[in-house]
Amino acid sequence: MEERVAPSTQSVGAPVERDVIFLSKATPGDDEFALWLAPKLEAAGYKVFADIRTLEAGDRWRNIITSTLQNQSCKMLLCCSNETLAAGGVQEEIEIGLDLVKELKDPRFVIPLRIRPYRKLFGIGGLQYIDFVRGWAEGLDKLLDVLKRQKVPCRDDGGVIQPSWEIHRRLGAVTLKDEPERLTSNWLRISEVPDVINYFEPSGVIDRDALGNVAPTSPFPVALMQQGFVTFQTSDEVAAVFGAVGRFVLKHQIPLVEFVEHGCAAVNIKRQDASNVVHSMLRQAWDRFCQKRGLLGFQYSKGVGFHVGKDQIPVGKKIPWGTQGERRSSMLRNIAKGHVWQFGVSAIPSFWPYPHFKLKSRVLFAPVVDGEADSPMDDAKKQHRLRRTVCKGWRNRQWHGRLLAFMELLSGEASSISLELAEAATVRVEAAPLLFSSPVSTVLPKSMQDEDEEVDLSTLGRPEPEDET
């Protein structure tokens, strides 16, 4: 028999040990989070109560919840989202928790866990929350640190995880088949890069400010480093760009992979600096490729995203994709919530575990003018709100389809795209995302009609984690 947290059966007047962490949540909206968090707290040595596994058929569930919170709990972890905080049962638990703050003289008895962005609620608005929005693992680390600092009762001999957490999880699990499955990633393999990168230094005294002003005007990437700069351009190309600043001499030709992995000791360029510079150059090459094709650039907090605009396709038009098997189609621009949404991506280069670009899907909103998109809104908060409402109903297959349609639009008939680093130096990137093999597959429908994919009137569904703007 598993250990169950139940109302105290001790005699009247006997002291009750408060050693239970009470997890206040809404059902079923927070069940997935609770099933993830509770076993991890138990593994750390804490005793956890949550109404998912602790209550059984026939239990007077409200009495048990109330009694456990009032009589046995040493801390109350409050799952916080607008939906959760609006639930009647959770509001009752908050009232009890705030009474216990006074009774136990513990102002930190209630610990809010921010699992989704939420509006402040009277009574708990001033409490410092632990953020799980940016990452559950990061939130757990902070929570365990808080519990330790607040000296919450914890087993010294290691934790005991109740098996019913996993049993409950399996009740709603997706069935797996013992058959391999091919999965499409958001990685584009880099199939070709230049052999070397060039390091130039001035042959005499130059004006460093003038050099810094001219470098951004170069038609190809240039990065100032140490006394000179690195570039993939030749001596003739450098002379054409920087001739007015001074004369520059090619000092070193460094194998590109060696430069990324080790830097260049001869001119004291550290490995991390070299890696950052090359990644930046590849990203610049991608950005210029997209600019030349007329894609709509938009500056986000961590880079530029390039979106399909009215110069590429009209609103509501579907773009076919799929070079193998059945051809499909997906929209990259449409109208929802009174705005035009426009799909795009940011590209993040990496050399590990092998050279590739990782694509991050983006959606940009603009006001509607005469059935078309006006200039994108500059209000970052409004962009974020629209992404959370319009895009939260898109299923994984819809994001997948839009990404493949975007790449097919970008590459045309070619199987790869070439990013220019110099007149005779290019990076070749495969246009089709990398495929991975999973040893098992899920019993889920794999086909979906186009009209099912684009029912986009209200786009209700499950929200994504908070996105950057």
Q: State pLDDT tens for residues 271-296.
A: 999 999 999 999 999 999 999 999 99
d(CA 347, CA 352): 15
- DSSP code, position 372: E
Confidence at 368, pLDDT banded by 50, 70, 90: very high
The residue ranges of DSSP E strands in 133-247, in sequence order, are 176-177, 181-184, 187-192, 196-202, 222-225, 228-231
Q: What is the mean pLDDT of residues 435-445?
A: 70
Outline where DSSP puts E strands in 60-186: 73-80, 110-114, 130-131, 176-177, 181-184
pLDDT at 1: 37
Residue 40, CA distances (Å) to 49, 77, 166, 386 in order: 13, 14, 12, 34
| pLDDT beyond 50 at 190 | yes
For residue 4, pLDDT over 80 is answered with no
Q: State how far the Cα of 68 lies from the Cα of 74, in Å rounded to an integer.
A: 10
Contacts of residue 118, defined as CB under 8 A and 6 or more positions apart, other chains included, come to 80, 81, 82, 84, 85
> CA-CA distance, 251 to 200, in Å (whole number)?
6
SS3 category, 318: strand
- The pLDDT assigned to 178 comes to 76
Could you give the percent of the chain with pLDDT greater than 90?
A: 59
Q: How far apart are CA 219 and CA 90, in angstroms?
A: 60
Position 78 confidence tier, pLDDT thresholds 50, 70, 90: very high
User: Would the pLDDT of 307 be above 70?
Assistant: yes
Q: Which of 87-96, 392-401, 425-434, 443-452 has the highest mean pLDDT?
A: 425-434
Q: Which one, of 198, 364, 348, lies nearest residue 284 by Cα?
A: 348
| Lowest-confidence segment of 27-41, 180-194, 255-269 by average pLDDT | 27-41
Per-residue confidence (pLDDT) for residue 455, from 0 to 100:
41
Give CA 385 to chain center in angstroms: 16
Let me know: does 232 contact 422? Beta carbons within 8 Å: yes
Query: What pLDDT is stored for residue 326 in this prediction?
Result: 67
Angle (CA) 408 195 358, round 5°: 35
Element at 147 (helix H, strand E): helix 136-149
Q: Are 408 and 431 in contact (CB under 8 A)?
A: yes
Confidence check: pLDDT of 304 > 60: yes
> Alpha-carbon distance 380 to 462, whole Å?
22
Three-state secondary structure call for residue 428: strand
Q: Which residues does 394 contact at the CB level (< 8 Å), separation at least 6?
A: 459, 461
pLDDT of residue 457: 34
Q: What is the pLDDT, as a whole number, of residue 325?
A: 55
Task: Check pLDDT > 90 for residue 356.
Answer: yes
Mean pLDDT along residues 206-224: 96
119, with CB counted inside 10 A (0-12, 13-18, 19+), is exposed
Q: Please give the pLDDT value at position 444.
A: 56
80-131: per-residue pLDDT in tens? Answer: 999 899 888 899 999 999 999 999 999 999 999 999 888 888 778 778 899 9
* Residue 58 confidence class, pLDDT cut points 50, 70, 90: very low
CA atoms within 13 A on the CB side of 75: 23
Q: Which is nearest to 289 in space by CA: 428, 394, 172?
A: 428
- List, as one string, the DSSP characters of 204-225: S---HHHHHHHGGG-SS-EEEE
Report DSSP state, residue 83.
H
pTM higher than 0.85: no
> What mean pLDDT is predicted for residues 195-202?
98
Query: What pLDDT does 156 receive?
Result: 78
Does position 389 have pLDDT exceeding 50, yes or no?
yes
pLDDT of residue 453: 41
HSE value, Cβ hemisphere, 13 Å, CA-based, for 330: 25
Beta-bridged to residue 169, according to DSSP, are none
**pLDDT-derived band of residue 9, with 50, 70 and 90 as boundaries?**
very low
Domains (range + CATH), the chain: 20-171 (3.40.50.10140), 184-190+281-453 (no CATH), 197-269 (no CATH)
pLDDT given at position 173: 61
pLDDT band at 3 (very low <50, low <70, confident <90, very high): very low
- Rounded CA gap, 305 and 434, in Å? 21
List the structure tokens of 140. 């757990």
Selection from 173, 168, 170 nearest residue 38 by Cα: 168
Give helix 164-171 / helix 31-43 axis angle, nearest 10°: 160
Q: For residue 171, give the amino acid letter.
A: L
Q: What is the pLDDT at residue 127?
A: 87
For 188, the token pair is: 């584009």
Query: For residue 172, what pLDDT is reported?
Result: 60
Q: Which residues pair with 425 in a beta bridge?
A: 422
Number of other residues whose CB lies within 10 A of the CB of residue 462: 9
pLDDT for 88 equals 87
Question: Higher confidence at residue 433 or residue 464?
Answer: 433
CB 39 within 8 Å of CB 149: no
pLDDT of residue 403: 94
Tokens for 46, please give them. Answer: 């804490």
Answer for the pair 229, 223: CB distance below 8 angstroms, yes or no. Answer: yes
The phi, psi pair for 270, rounded to 5°, reads: -75, 155
Distance CA 30, CA 79 (A): 8
Higher pLDDT, 120 or 376: 376
**Does residue 59 have a pLDDT over 60?**
no
Q: What is the pLDDT of residue 438?
A: 75
Give me the mean pLDDT over the 430-444 stretch.
79
